[in-house]
Structure 1
């Protein structure tokens, strides 16, 4: 690793809390027995399911967080002293073993759901780590970069009893607190979802995994088993079934952890940098449906924009808006002919930009042994332009854009006095390569899509060719406004990330920072200089202060160095893309999904409920 052109290396020692792979320790559980951001699919080979699938053992049971005044976790445990419940539990367990677990033995798993691949290397889970201080810092932490970087990811608490997709793991947040004088600390904690609490108490999987297990007739059996256990009071899904493992966003004094199979979970960062799950957040009983993993917070108004899709009943899609105080101001039914997987969307100053792509839900496919999530080649990809002032969705305008499937959008804005909409996103081909095996190599191109609201026509232009660019960010000040720079993960070794690219949207210039041989990272987090040192009494910013200094700030990202089996947090200056600092992690940090940075002002005004 280089800092200021000098070769340096971390020399951290492993503490007693470090667990490189918890599935190598004694199994204290009894086995029998969503959708987010990316998946391992390195080749087309098929592995055979057998007892070796569950051969990795679990660590010692993870200790719960110490009780605090702010912790409010689900606490549901069935009363098995009831003879009827006891009998039902035994019968359903026997049914599960005979008709699901035993039946899957000897059958092949595609690589997209093969646990020996999905949980290999630095994708393997880790135990929780309490706060560890005094981390070694090489180079420097900028004095104004004072706050906490948090990153979400999937980290299964239990070993899979069968198929496993990367999106199925329990949510775990990794937090690095950065302070003056090169001080840094680290911790990681599970987000204590309703699902997590119940499965931890039982020591086994009770909730079906949407991506890897709800396929074909076995998927239907798993659904039936789940509903039967719920009907008998053996599990309680009423307080949520999601894993909260994908997105992270700060809104109105709360850090929210999200995945689109549930409502967000409120997580608080304590003064020492520890993480406490406050509970499932329903915006004070204003919403009771799952919300997608990538909401948008308008930097000027402070409004919170989000979507919710339903695969079973109309309306298949809803748009929600909450003002900066958390009061719901919009709930709009968006007309869609069929349920569609919508992982992300975009906003401009006046509009909400909604993708209606070709990856759809077709539950009838399960009856014939297939996956309910399908690529529909006959459907035309399009974008819906919904005015933020539209109260019923009837004025939404749809414009077709071929070959425009984007798992993630980076930004969008208006041009020509609102006549044109510009969308920046990573177009993926094949569109369903995240979920299904393909002989085609995955291609992810950073593209510009232009929509003409007057003519209804569109264009799509590849901004950077010959390079896979995924998961990226712009300056938070300019979300929904025209930006010059985007900061992207270079994913030529897909799904691993080889480095960070700063792309100039005006001239197409790409400035790269490569991690080096056998070093891989994830999503870059851009922290604007005046954001990190925010002293305002609001989450809103004056966009005029940002113009001309858009790349004034830092880029931070976790990196795993396979040469020495060490994890680091690297810090770059965004202007010149040079590394100025590195925090050596005391234990392994697995690859994950999305992150954000909370400054001192945001940390100081966090809410307890």
Structure 2
């Protein structure tokens, strides 16, 4: 029946869901790779990396799709490099063994539907919906009890444990073994006293308290629920947000000293669209985006303030902090100029990094573009999370949804909009593209260290040579010069978010 729908009922596929397009080039999936030694081919690894590991998540479909496929549909795969010695790191690629992965591994082909690609044309949508119901009734799978399990977006340390995360399920606990392998421990609900089934892929850690601030969205009221995971990894009580008017595909949140900031964006989930033969995940251009500000430890939404923000659709926060004794919140975030392309083509969406200044009492905000370049995946020195920082490091976006270089933006520069705030930049060689950066301080734990005293690490793939490298860049260099490069034994496909784990944290996993 799947083959019939794909062959005869699917309309011509637009590029964003055509697997021939979506899974081409470095978006093509790779096989698992067991722990394999690799060589440092340029420079030398800084001491602050030794004993630690860099982990990056991304979509990597286990089975070739027979029909429509969106980039967001791929099974999660972690690409991990561990620095067991200064001369011979170990690299490994492993699937996150989610419920979806294990079920489809048994059936031998993909059977889970996707809100981004499965519903195209009325006939195909109806039949795929009936097929899903039939599979649940016959117990081929039970997504209500076990989730949809992609876990392909992010990795995070919460309560001293490592998790792979996705929007459609609970996080999956992971472990990096002493020999550099990666093991899936299982779906995790943070010892919750009340059942819940999904969670954002971008929980925000408070480095001062060790708490993780998180949320989940719903298709029925309340459309969004906030909650905290304490330093011991236990979920606290829910704070439902009933003033959210529809299901917003809110992807990230910001945390300051006293507040949580929630974006209510124009990316929405509307399952009534399936009855029209359209995907439920869509862009609502008639909706006015808003920014919500609520005290971190609010017991309900009575103190929540909503501020309308026309044209502001924050998908990823780089950082946020307070000024003027808490009366002002400053946020730094990329914003898609053309949000209608945000689900299809990041390069056409043209994200621009902005500084957003919120007056909490007056309920107003002012926006300042920080660069005229198309940039995304902005990161900071993680020790400055929730505090005022000076530097943001972001990827230069090019067609099609690839990061072809890096910029360093000085937030204190007065003439940032014309490019004066860009104090360092680097383009990769033609044919090369990289992943999201991670910042590693040169002297972890040194309070006197300068904010940019450290290294930027990432994976870079060269289409010309079909080789992937792990590279280390000097964050202080005006050209972000390479300090070290490791040739990897396997290709690293274009993916999403990554994390460096220092030795002391890695040993606790």
Q: TM-score, normalised by structure 1?
A: 0.79
What is the deviation of 1:437?
A: 7.2
CA RMSD of aligned residues (A): 1.8
Q: Compared with structure 1, are the counterparts of its residues 211 and 599 closer, same or farther at alpha carbon in structure 2 (3 Å cutoff)?
A: same
What is the deviation of 1:310?
A: 0.8
What is the deviation of 1:575?
A: 1.3
Cα contact 2:258–2:295 (8 A) shared by 1: yes
Q: Does 1:549 align with 2:462?
A: no
Cα contact 1:143–1:180 (8 A) shared by 2: no
Cα contact 1:305–1:321 (8 A) shared by 2: yes
Secondary structure class of the residue paired with 1:201: helix
Cα contact 1:381–1:404 (8 A) shared by 2: yes
Which of the numbers 194, 198, 221 marks the counterpart of 2:103?
198
Q: Compared with structure 1, are the counterparts of its residues 160 and 103 closer, same or farther at alpha carbon in structure 2 (3 Å cutoff)?
A: same
Q: Does 1:268 align with 2:175?
A: yes
What is the deviation of 1:436?
A: 4.6
Aligned residue pair count: 495
What is the deviation of 1:347?
A: 0.9
Secondary structure class of the residue paired with 1:213: coil
Which residue number in structure 1 is paired with residue 368 of structure 2?
A: 461
Which of the numbers 245, 250, 256 marks the counterpart of 2:152?
245
What is the deviation of 1:393?
A: 1.3
What is the deviation of 1:375?
A: 2.3
Q: Does 1:395 align with 2:303?
A: yes
Q: Does 1:138 align with 2:42?
A: yes
Cα contact 1:500–1:512 (8 A) shared by 2: yes
When structure 1 is superposed on structure 2, of 318-327 and 284-293 the one drifting more is: 284-293
Cα contact 1:157–1:170 (8 A) shared by 2: yes
Which residue number in structure 2 is paired with residue 505 of structure 1?
A: 411
What is the deviation of 1:245?
A: 0.3
Cα contact 2:49–2:83 (8 A) shared by 1: yes
Q: Of the two, which has the highest radius of gyration?
A: 1
Cα contact 1:487–1:501 (8 A) shared by 2: yes
Q: Which runs of 5+ in 1 are unaligned?
A: 1-93, 535-544
Q: Does 1:586 align with 2:489?
A: yes
Which residue number in structure 2 is paired with residue 299 of structure 1?
A: 207
Cα distance in structure 1, aligned partners of 2:239 and 2:185 = 29
Which of the numbers 197, 218, 229 marks the counterpart of 1:310?
218
What is the deviation of 1:548?
A: 5.7
Which residue number in structure 1 is paired with residue 376 of structure 2?
A: 470
Cα contact 2:434–2:458 (8 A) shared by 1: yes
When structure 1 is superposed on structure 2, of 496-505 and 191-200 the one drifting more is: 496-505
Cα contact 2:38–2:488 (8 A) shared by 1: no
Cα contact 1:104–1:162 (8 A) shared by 2: no
Cα contact 1:382–1:400 (8 A) shared by 2: yes
Q: Compared with structure 1, are the counterparts of its residues 255 and 290 closer, same or farther at alpha carbon in structure 2 (3 Å cutoff)?
A: same
When structure 1 is superposed on structure 2, of 404-413 and 165-174 the one drifting more is: 404-413
Which residue number in structure 1 is paired with residue 189 of structure 2?
A: 282
What is the deviation of 1:215?
A: 4.1
Cα contact 1:216–1:367 (8 A) shared by 2: no
Which residue number in structure 2 is paired with residue 76 of structure 1?
A: none
Q: Does 1:574 align with 2:482?
A: no
Cα distance in structure 1, aligned partners of 2:382 and 2:53 = 16
Cα distance in structure 2, aligned partners of 1:437 and 1:180 = 40
Which residue number in structure 1 is paired with residue 358 of structure 2?
A: 451
Cα contact 1:248–1:258 (8 A) shared by 2: yes
Cα contact 2:57–2:79 (8 A) shared by 1: yes
Q: Compared with structure 1, are the counterparts of its residues 215 and 295 closer, same or farther at alpha carbon in structure 2 (3 Å cutoff)?
A: farther
